[in-house]
Structure 1
Amino acid sequence: MVVVPLVSGAVLPGERQGLPAHENLSLVSALARETVFRLLAGMGEQGYRVTRRRPPTVEAAKHANVIPPGLGLPDWLKKRVVLEFQTRVLHPRNAAPYVVLTCSKRLRTTIAATCADLQDLGVPLLGSAVTTYADDPDPKVSGRLRYAGRIVAVDPGVLTLDEHGEGAQAVAAGDLFLEPTRSNFNKVVEALTQGRSERILRDIQAAEAEWHAGGKTLDTVQSSLTWLSRKSLELADGVPLEFDGLMDQSMSRRFPRTESIWKPKLSFDPSIAPETSLTWAQKGLDQVGPYDRQSFVKKRLSIAVICEAENRHRTEVAVDHLLRGLPDVRSGGTNPLAPHGTGLLGRFRLAEPAVSFFEVPDDSAKAYVAGVRQAVSAASARDERWDLAIVQVRRSWQERPYDDSPYWSSKAAFLKQETPVQALFLDLAALEDLGYAMAMANMSLAIYAKLGGAPWLLPVRSATDHELVFGLGSHTTKEGRRGAGERMVGIATMFSGQGHYYLDSRTAAVPFAEYPAALRATIVDAVGRIRHEEGWREDDAVRLVFHAFIQLRREAVEAVAAAVADLGLKRATFAFLHVVEDSAFVTFDRAVTSGRGAYGPERGQAVELGDREWLLTLTGRDQLRNEMHGLPDPVLLRLHDLSTYRDMPTLARQVSDFANHSWRTFGPARLPITLGYANEIARQLAGLERTPNWDVDAMEGSRVMRRPWFL
């Protein structure tokens, strides 16, 4: 323990000593963070509101509200700029380590009027989540909102709550505040502005987009750090704290090494050399065909379509577009290929399918389930099973309760019959031609994968005999917001080094403390299953790469490594990689100052922060669909120190490749499919578990659940 005097005359418990700063950079980093916090905490009278100590987080006074004043909204309705500062030590490969300060920016929604005031204004409150203010244990940190419950009854001046925990069930409306979510914010704006709400919400969204843009972000970060550098700050008594400028590549000695990781070539034919492969997935499918076109057995599909009777014709048209494509819709530019003209049948070399429509009288879950039963009975009468079910739905249904959801009820019913399901949103028809065609192309890609097909693979480039890549995710089950009875389901997705989807395994629902052991058992079972199916020998070289959504505990890593070693794999190496989706870092390209994605980097830009940490841009400026999306954020790759495979450039390229290898969409993703698929599994499990008559245990070992059913 080191006791550091922060002010002159501080009484120390022992003799005062000097510590070399360059040998104690972790201490320097911690002291610098506290120095920034003390500065911000002392500026409350100037309008700054500190909301966290670690990391120091403050609501800026200069930009207390980015909503344009001309919109006429009350001053208690705000989008406020929040700054977060962090310090950390960087360990570049060929230079001395040093301490950096990061500054990140976001917008915080504020609804400062009480529920009593909102009642008087006519804001609908029933069903909304509400909060109360509570003091922070740290007296230097401002009070914050705490979840109080959900409104189940509204009476004059009094609100009745469920999920209220130890708090009161009936609470005075003047003591409660709406939870400051985007949906609640929009609800208040709609109540205040009536017929003008659509335009006003659009103007607010445009103002937010301006603040998320690269130029504004860079300016905010620079001005904040410049402001800090002008303050007379001390790290400790008599030790000044000074800041250098924003890190860029002109600081050649200090700036980390960078690398460009380009889009991978994809393999569409196992007999074609990797160097002749294509990076454009749609062109490869159209010119060569899916990777498994020779081995894919079920060429003539049997498809059941569930639709509303009143939308039968519209559904027929959409299904025809899905199957046969839109040959008259072309992408822009000079490329002669019309990438959306083939549809599911032509692009994936399938025969004319047998399509049967089953109409339902209304949009209730009961009617849709009855339609599913009718379809199942029709197939059973022929002693067959549907290869695919297409369920016509509408976007507006997504807000409905699970027990009255046509989509979730139909999906659960078909999955229990081992039939993969594809939702068909009629709302897609409102898109412009190219957007509609692209949506249909993405849908056909997902369908082929759900059927067990392999549209393409990544080329083999590893000398290792066997390589498995895991995504370690989780799904939390709990009763209500407060987490009563909270349990976790560990989710492990497993792929070959080429990106071939093997399976996803799930643990039983267990308390958080038992999660690592349950996940370890699942991983060992999955590896043992693949080893048996593919006939691995004990002296084969095996590499196991784990992509995790959280930093794995040391005990969990040791246990997984020991358990897999018990399988008798003598030459197994491990890499445990934490993929941090929301890090403190952002990268800028100052050479691009205008247009969509201004100041954003190209996709694939990598920055080596140290031997075990890399920044990687998985979606760059060209992948932004519009200016509203702001600046693309990189992911932070952090390698666990117990890993026995430590080639970070190769691991970073693999993450990049897996982000370009989704069978859910033709575009690159912000996460590798190892974690992206796990997230989608968690989302779908959450929906299915809340659907009546779903039985997750009955689906264990199901044929359809060993395919990417969740795409």
Structure 2
Amino acid sequence: MAPTSLLLNFLPVSLSGDTRIRVGYRPYNEDVLRELRGEFGESHVFKRDYKENTITEIPVISGAEPLADKSTEEDLAEAWWLWKPLLNAALLRLFSGSREITSDYPVSVLGSPKNNFISHADLPDWVRILPLLEFESRTLFGGKSGAQFGLVCNARTRHQILAPCDHLIERGISPIGRYVQIDQPQGDSRLAPRGFTVGKVSSIDGETLILEDHREGYERVKASDARLTGNRGDFDWCVNALLQGQGQATLSRARDAMSALNQGPGRLKMINQTAEYLRTANLEAVPGVAFEIGEWMSSTDARFPMTETIDRPTLVFHPSGRPNDTWNERGIKDNGPHDQRTFTPKQLNIAVICQGRFEGQVDRFMGKFLDGIPDFQLRNGRKPYDDGFLSRFRLERANVQTFRANSASRAAYEAACEDALKHAADNGFGWDLAIVQIEEDFKALPGPQNPYYATKAMLLRNNVAVQNVRIETMSEPDKSLVYTMNQVSLACYAKLGGRPWLLAAQQSVAHELVIGLGSHTEQKSRFDQSVRYVGITTVFSSDGGYHLSERTGVVLFEDYATELTDTLTRTIERVRREDNWKNTDRVRLVFHAFKQIKDIEAEAIKQAVEALDLENVIFAFVHIAEQHPFLIFDQNQEGLPHWEKDRSKRKGVLGPSRGVHIKLADSESLVVFAGASELKQAAHGMPRACLLKLHRNSTFRDMTYLARQAFDFTAHSWRVMTPEPFPITIKYSDLIAERLAGLKQIETWDDDAVRFRNIGKAPWFL
């Protein structure tokens, strides 16, 4: 069913006036194009014509003429490919001199200093949090009336500390320990200087700042040339230093004001005001030809792209395909896990690793975890965790033993793990699962000192599934703990190699594999050389459901293309044997990637598969992008109570619902993976869709099918009962990369533990 109350932050744009103009053209040369834009960028627009391999130049101010020796007449009404640079240039001319322009694409404009979100009588005016308006021209192809050119408008905020560091020092505020930036002019004189972070201040020598963790060539900078960065840490520190005890209250008020902008009503109000201003402004494409700004594109408009609300996917809880359910918690409580008849062992050996000072709290937690919390129910009578881990997953009474760490140190935790492993070896059995109590403060510890990674490394090396739980979580009241138990119990069963449910597959082809790529970047400091890891997750359809591949991997970014083809080849060979594929069977391969796949990468994957002697293979390469300019508003969404004690506060007001799908073009779709219901609180703003972009070399191009499939995979997580904000193909890959990057910091870690041992055949990374 298609929602009928949606607004897209897209303003249709048309032209008025005499659209016949004279333009110049010359052979394309990259250096010439750069020089022309640098010298004549305010009077002309220069655009490369890829088809003719020429530079097209359009005079955009009165009295300007084409600069090239050759010129021709163009009708702008037909030359739609020139609209984007002309609209961009018109916006720059409109705001130049009246607003601070920070970027020329997308055109980004700071709001008036009068709209500063942070204020205090003693706070100087060079401390600012301002609205930042962004304008990006786009063409939509998904409507019934054909292509529609328009302007996408968005609003966010920008933190600024404008005073140089010598001014701070004069006020008794030392920048030592903070990162600083210098201002660098941009190529276009109409643009504000760009802040360029150069390093962290280690000491001060007269009027000079001595830097550490710095860019090459920036060991020292003048205090008068440097200022603090606008990141939240430096900004908050500066406000607290300036206000001496009143900073936190001032920052809290500022966050509330910013939260109002980030929520649906505030965001819509801001861009509505911007649209009204643009409609009254003189946005000339060229002299005598104006851009006309229309009304927001609404789902009641015939030009609106094709829209639907994707149905909740079906989850299968029995090998026969019946029974099934669309709600995972209800389905597993009513039916048990998909593999309950084959899962082994039914009687688990569980080691509990905890600090001795928390043993009593951990014991209570374990009792509730194993046997449930039957006395707690919601207002509607639902009991989220009345059954417990053992009953829910059809397991027998477990052998549970506790091993104490005498402190919060890595060494103490490793000693407790060693005690557990020795006990099992001495008594002739192995641990199936370890529940490890950790602390919130462990997050701040460097990887090599962190008990979280140390215990994981030791236990995974010895083929023991590990579930870490914070003591702060264990101590929560039952009304919160029931939801935590739902997630922990699900993840534990999956880590044990269990299969809670399968996602029903639409068997439109003989075989389908979906491969996900996610990434994680490790960086010790701001300018330390970063290391990027790529995780790979493979799922395949078989017997009516999607199965997670037994092997998961992670490699350095520069090696991922080779590893991807190796993983794909290995998976296809294994599944072909298990499902008895014929070479003539139709096979569909779908790739979900955190980045746009390059042409050369897509071609390499195709060649690798073709070498497997499969005669009928089709491909889809889908980039799932979190960052993009589009916003979806639902005018009928009144919001939901954001917590039980104060039900007057509403979250997700005007936000789209989970499952909304807007097909922007044959190769682009917006899909809302997490909607208003999935927001935790109102302060988190409004739900955002993800943009799915299909690579041009894809041979399977059904964007509606691919969008629905990606949405279905958000409900196939065995990590949490609630839907994930991304398909598991991406989310699992991110987790694999993050966990292995952390484990590599433990000197005793061995990658072979998850590459070749049984523990690596289960989703140990959840």
Q: TM-score, normalised by structure 1?
A: 0.91
The answer to whether the Cα contact below 8 Å between 2:460 and 2:753 also exists between their aligned partners in 1 is no
Q: Per the alignment, in what secondary structure is the counterpart of residue 500 of structure 1? A: strand
In the other structure, the counterpart of 1:469 is 514
Is structure 2 residue 394 aligned with structure 1 residue 349? yes
In the other structure, the counterpart of 2:316 is 267
Which of 662, 665, 679 is matched with 2:720 structurally? 665
In the other structure, the counterpart of 1:631 is 686
Separation in 1 of the partners of 2:251 and 2:354? 33
Is structure 2 residue 591 aligned with structure 1 residue 546? yes
1:172 to partner: Cα distance? 5.4
Separation in 2 of the partners of 1:440 and 1:197? 38
Relative to 1, partners in 2 of residues 1:201 and 1:299: Cα closer, same or farther, differing over 3 Å? farther
Measured against aligned partners, the alpha-carbon deviations of 1:203-227 in whole angstroms (never above 9, x if no partner) come to 3332221111101111111111221
Is structure 2 residue 450 aligned with structure 1 residue 381? no
Relative to 1, partners in 2 of residues 1:319 and 1:192: Cα closer, same or farther, differing over 3 Å? farther
Which structure has more relative contact order (CA 8 Å, sep 6+)? It is: 2
1:517 to partner: Cα distance? 4.1
Q: Per the alignment, in what secondary structure is the counterpart of residue 242 of structure 1? A: strand
Q: Per the alignment, in what secondary structure is the counterpart of residue 652 of structure 2? A: coil
Counting aligned pairs with the same residue, the percent is 33
Is structure 2 residue 58 aligned with structure 1 residue 4? yes
Is structure 2 residue 273 aligned with structure 1 residue 223? yes
Q: Which stretch shows the higher mean deviation, 633-642 or 118-127?
A: 118-127
Q: Per the alignment, in what secondary structure is the counterpart of residue 17 of structure 1? A: strand
1:311 to partner: Cα distance? 1.0
Q: Which amino acid aligns with 1:31?
A: L
In the other structure, the counterpart of 2:634 is 589
In the other structure, the counterpart of 2:533 is 489
In the other structure, the counterpart of 1:613 is 668
The answer to whether the Cα contact below 8 Å between 1:589 and 1:601 also exists between their aligned partners in 2 is yes
Structure 1 unaligned residues grouped into runs of 5+:
none
1:376 to partner: Cα distance? 1.8
Which of 216, 222, 230 is matched with 1:166 structurally? 216
Relative to 1, partners in 2 of residues 1:525 and 1:488: Cα closer, same or farther, differing over 3 Å? farther
Is structure 2 residue 410 aligned with structure 1 residue 365? yes
Relative to 1, partners in 2 of residues 1:600 and 1:170: Cα closer, same or farther, differing over 3 Å? same
Q: Which amino acid aligns with 1:390?
A: I
The answer to whether the Cα contact below 8 Å between 1:392 and 1:423 also exists between their aligned partners in 2 is yes
The within-5 A match list for 1:165-244 is 165-171=215-221, 175-192=225-242, 199-244=249-294
In the other structure, the counterpart of 1:283 is 330
Q: How many equivalent pairs are there?
A: 698
1:653 to partner: Cα distance? 1.0
Which of 586, 602, 622 is matched with 2:657 structurally? 602
Is structure 2 residue 195 aligned with structure 1 residue 148? no
In the other structure, the counterpart of 1:530 is 575
In the other structure, the counterpart of 2:13 is none
The within-5 A match list for 1:669-684 is 669-684=724-739
Separation in 2 of the partners of 1:103 and 1:382? 67
1:691 to partner: Cα distance? 3.2
Q: Which amino acid aligns with 1:468?
A: L
In the other structure, the counterpart of 2:51 is none
The answer to whether the Cα contact below 8 Å between 2:652 and 2:679 also exists between their aligned partners in 1 is yes
The answer to whether the Cα contact below 8 Å between 2:713 and 2:729 also exists between their aligned partners in 1 is yes
1:286 to partner: Cα distance? 0.8
Q: Per the alignment, in what secondary structure is the counterpart of residue 365 of structure 2? A: helix
Q: Which amino acid aligns with 1:415?
A: L
Q: Which stretch shows the higher mean deviation, 149-158 or 263-272?
A: 149-158
1:300 to partner: Cα distance? 1.5
The higher radius of gyration belongs to 2
1:672 to partner: Cα distance? 0.9
Structure 2 unaligned residues grouped into runs of 5+:
1-53, 640-649
1:674 to partner: Cα distance? 0.9
The answer to whether the Cα contact below 8 Å between 1:215 and 1:593 also exists between their aligned partners in 2 is no
Measured against aligned partners, the alpha-carbon deviations of 1:80-101 in whole angstroms (never above 9, x if no partner) come to 2111110111112642212110
Q: Per the alignment, in what secondary structure is the counterpart of residue 273 of structure 2? A: helix
Is structure 2 residue 481 aligned with structure 1 residue 445? no
1:426 to partner: Cα distance? 1.2
Relative to 1, partners in 2 of residues 1:413 and 1:657: Cα closer, same or farther, differing over 3 Å? same
In the other structure, the counterpart of 2:112 is 61
Separation in 2 of the partners of 1:58 and 1:407? 44
Q: Per the alignment, in what secondary structure is the counterpart of residue 449 of structure 1? A: helix
1:171 to partner: Cα distance? 4.8
1:462 to partner: Cα distance? 2.0
Which of 358, 363, 384 is matched with 1:316 structurally? 363
Relative to 1, partners in 2 of residues 1:271 and 1:503: Cα closer, same or farther, differing over 3 Å? closer
The answer to whether the Cα contact below 8 Å between 2:589 and 2:620 also exists between their aligned partners in 1 is yes
Measured against aligned partners, the alpha-carbon deviations of 1:244-296 in whole angstroms (never above 9, x if no partner) come to 111112322x11121111221211122244xx622221111111011111111
Q: Per the alignment, in what secondary structure is the counterpart of residue 710 of structure 2? A: helix
Separation in 2 of the partners of 1:322 and 1:129? 45
Q: Per the alignment, in what secondary structure is the counterpart of residue 588 of structure 2? A: strand
Which of 30, 36, 44 is matched with 2:85 structurally? 30
Separation in 1 of the partners of 2:244 and 2:442? 24
Separation in 1 of the partners of 2:398 and 2:113? 63
Separation in 2 of the partners of 1:19 and 1:503? 59
Q: Which stretch shows the higher mean deviation, 160-169 or 646-655?
A: 160-169
1:145 to partner: Cα distance? 2.2
Is structure 2 residue 506 aligned with structure 1 residue 506? no
Which of 70, 78, 96 is matched with 2:146 structurally? 96
Relative to 1, partners in 2 of residues 1:340 and 1:70: Cα closer, same or farther, differing over 3 Å? farther
The within-5 A match list for 1:640-659 is 640-659=695-714
Q: Which stretch shows the higher mean deviation, 663-672 or 681-690?
A: 681-690
1:192 to partner: Cα distance? 5.0
Is structure 2 residue 302 aligned with structure 1 residue 257? no
In the other structure, the counterpart of 2:478 is 433
Q: Per the alignment, in what secondary structure is the counterpart of residue 19 of structure 1? A: strand
Separation in 1 of the partners of 2:166 and 2:471? 40
Q: Which stretch shows the higher mean deviation, 644-653 or 176-185?
A: 176-185
In the other structure, the counterpart of 2:757 is 702
Relative to 1, partners in 2 of residues 1:179 and 1:404: Cα closer, same or farther, differing over 3 Å? farther
Relative to 1, partners in 2 of residues 1:170 and 1:373: Cα closer, same or farther, differing over 3 Å? farther
Relative to 1, partners in 2 of residues 1:196 and 1:324: Cα closer, same or farther, differing over 3 Å? farther
Q: Which amino acid aligns with 1:605?
A: V
1:697 to partner: Cα distance? 5.2
In the other structure, the counterpart of 2:436 is 391
Separation in 1 of the partners of 2:594 and 2:671? 15
Q: Per the alignment, in what secondary structure is the counterpart of residue 602 of structure 1? A: coil
In the other structure, the counterpart of 2:502 is 457
The answer to whether the Cα contact below 8 Å between 1:577 and 1:639 also exists between their aligned partners in 2 is yes
Instruction: Give the strand-richer structure, 1 or 2.
Output: 2
In the other structure, the counterpart of 1:574 is 619
Q: Which amino acid aligns with 1:495?
A: V
Separation in 1 of the partners of 2:316 and 2:611? 35
1:598 to partner: Cα distance? 1.1
Measured against aligned partners, the alpha-carbon deviations of 1:380-421 in whole angstroms (never above 9, x if no partner) come to 223433211221111122112222212122112222222222
